[in-house]
A and B are shown apart, each in its own frame.
Chain A
Amino acid sequence: GDSVTQMEGPVTLSEEAFLTINCTYTATGYPSLFWYVQYPGEGLQLLLKATKADDKGSNKGFEATYRKETTSFHLEKGSVQVSDSAVYFCALSDRNKFYFGSGTKLNVKP
């Protein structure tokens, strides 16, 4: 069946460091891929998405490229800020269902 696997956290970085959060997926169809962010005590907010292979989603300095050959959708940011501290969820939608990864907590220290 379909699934999403994310790197385990927490990930701890210093401000202005480069961020990568790995996400790989398994799907039988042609999924759309998403990254959501969750700040403490809040719901999930859509960060970016990509709907087909080689698409790049981007928002607020974050980027992720839909790589069909490696079934990956890694999240990157060139310079993180303290305000980026949150939990990040990778997700896919395929054949009318949504699948979420388990989330990766990011801590950014000043």
Chain B
Amino acid sequence: DGGITQSPKYLFRKEGQNVTLSCEQNLNHDAMYWYRQDPGQGLRLIYYSQIVNDFQKGDIAEGYSVSREKKESFPLTVTSAQKNPTAFYLCASSTDHGGATQYFGPGTRLLVL
């Protein structure tokens, strides 16, 4: 079955630690996205990538970094510079960045110890 997988489902971060969230898709989509969702709120765009080896900052990129070395993979690193990282992180992909339907993974919940 084609789809988007995110791992882990839950992730705990200690103070000053960088953590990496995985996102993999086998839909052959060119574009991939990372969103942050806080309780009771909508989605905010962190980073997006239209094609391999290229990515762009979204609305709240500070304290986050990404890479896009393979078409299937778009990992997100939450760095120690992100002072309030506790949130639900959602990865999505679409055939292109021209407004095509976005399909979402199951999400990763990040908690700070």
Closest to B97 in A: A96
Chain B CB within 8 A of A100 CB: yes
Chain B CB within 8 A of A93 CB: yes
On whether A102 and B107 interact (CB within 8 A), knowing A31-B99, A32-B99, A96-B97, the answer reads no
Closest to B50 in A: A96
User: A interface, how many residues as a size bin?
Assistant: 20 to 34
Chain A CB within 8 A of B34 CB: no
Chain B CB within 8 A of A34 CB: yes
Closest to B10 in A: A41
On whether A44 and B41 interact (CB within 8 A), knowing A93-B99, A95-B99, A98-B102, the answer reads no
Report chain B residues within 8 Å CB of A89. Answer: 42-43
Number of interface residues of B (CB under 8 A): 22
A94→B41 contact, CB < 8 A = no
A49→B101 contact, CB < 8 A = yes
Of A31, A41, A43, A96, most B-chain CB atoms within 10 Å:
A43
Within 8 A of A (CB), among B81-100: 90, 92, 97-100
Q: Which of A43, A46, A97, A102 contacts B90 (CB 8 A)?
A: A43
Pairs of residues from A and B, 8 with the lowest C-beta to C-beta distance, nearest first: A93-B99, A43-B104, A102-B42, A44-B104, A100-B43, A43-B106, A43-B107, A100-B42
Known: A45-B104, A102-B41. 12 other contacts (CB 8 A): A32-B99, A32-B101, A42-B106, A43-B4, A43-B106, A44-B43, A46-B101, A46-B103, A96-B97, A96-B98, A98-B45, A101-B42
Interface residues, chain A, with chain B CB atoms under 8 Å away: 31-32, 34, 36, 41-46, 49, 89, 93-98, 100-103
